[in-house]
Amino acid sequence: MPEGHHIHWLAGQIEDRFAGQVVSSTSPQGRFAASAAMVDGTELVRSWAVGKHLFVGFAHDRIVHVHLGLIGKLGFTPWPGGTGQIRWRVGTPAAGVAELRGPQTCALITPAEADAIAGRSGPDPLDPDADPERAWRKVHASAKPIAALLMDQAVFAGVGNIYRAEVLFRAGLDPDLPGKALDRAQFDALWGDLVALMPLGVRDDRIDTVRAEHLPEAMGRPPREDAHGGEVYVYRRAGLPCHVCGTPVRTRVLAGRNLYWCEVCQRPTRRGR
């Protein structure tokens, strides 16, 4: 489930399990073998995330950069680990191992390269020091639909297809609304909702936008209780009744991904809150 919240959760897990320890590093699958050997037997110092990028820092300024892409997974198991196509395995007999499968990127990089990746990223709602003005300037200047801008990692780092659909629904915003058509209050509602929701995603390692504790006060229209008791309002609920108004949820491809929205709750004329 690689959206930003999961990557930040993984960084926390890696720190909790391995930081300060000398670890074993191998590439059973082989494609990362030479680089894995470079950090084998050295101290894993820390791990952090920027948007969907995961970094694992070792002694001697060696950094492993991981991007899970669409299908990559990183999981934790007891030593000596499992089977399958494991690109990178890192850990210790006592602490267990982290195993990486199917990543888009797994590469040994320098601190300068890590800085460059961070510099290319837009503000990350999970970063307490993030500057939302950088995102606002890009949104305000763009004719692209807000549903496309939310997926642009140079605008909102860490937001993926689920958060895109859910925050647009929660703001009552038409996905096709051009960025430049949003007023400041609408942008602030989106950014504020991401800042409120994503840390809960990190805490629970799952996206749940429906529970009462997630509802912004300004929303003013709590979801109807139903058997589903859903985690989400619209994501992957095509054809099912909207939790708020009962209209079947719609879907279509926007910016290369399946978008889900309620055409009633997110009317083109509706002003977001």
The catalytic site residues sit at 2-3, 52, 257
Q: Which stretch binds DNA (CB under 7 A): 18-26, 35-43, 160-168, 240-248?
A: 160-168
Long-range contacts of 54-63 (CB under 8 A, 24+ apart): 54/7, 54/10, 54/11, 55/11, 55/114, 56/14, 56/90, 61/110, 61/111, 62/38, 62/108, 63/108, 63/109, 63/110, 63/111, 63/113, 63/114
Residues 34-53 as x/- pattern, contact with DNA by CB under 7 A: -----------------xx-
Pick between residue 161 and residue 186 the one whose CB is nearest to DNA. 161
Residues 138-157 as x/- pattern, contact with DNA by CB under 7 A: -------------x-x----
CA-to-CA distance for 74 and 89, rounded, in angstroms? 10
Pick between residue 3 and residue 174 the one whose CB is nearest to DNA. 3
8 binds DNA (CB under 7 A): no
Q: Within 10 A of 138 (CB to CB), how many other CB atoms are there?
A: 18
Distance of closest approach, residue 149 Cβ to DNA, in angstroms: 12
Cβ neighbourhood burial of 225 (10 Å; 0-12, 13-18, 19+): exposed
Q: Which of 12, 96, 102, 248 contacts DNA by CB under 7 A?
A: 102
CA-to-CA distance for 220 and 159, rounded, in angstroms? 24
Amino acid identity for residue 196 in this structure: A
Contact 151, 138 (CB under 8 A): no
Tally helices (H) and strands (E) across the chain: 7, 10
Pick between residue 67 and residue 140 the one whose CB is nearest to DNA. 67
240 binds DNA (CB under 7 A): no
Size of the site for DNA (CB under 7 A): 33
- The overall longest dimension of the chain from CA atoms, in Å, is 60
Distance of closest approach, residue 172 Cβ to DNA, in angstroms: 22
Residues 57-96 as x/- pattern, contact with DNA by CB under 7 A: ----------xxxxxxx----------xxxx---------
172 binds DNA (CB under 7 A): no
For binding to DNA (CB under 7 A), which residues are involved? 1-3, 6, 29, 31, 51-52, 67-73, 84-87, 101-104, 151, 153, 160-162, 207, 236, 256-258
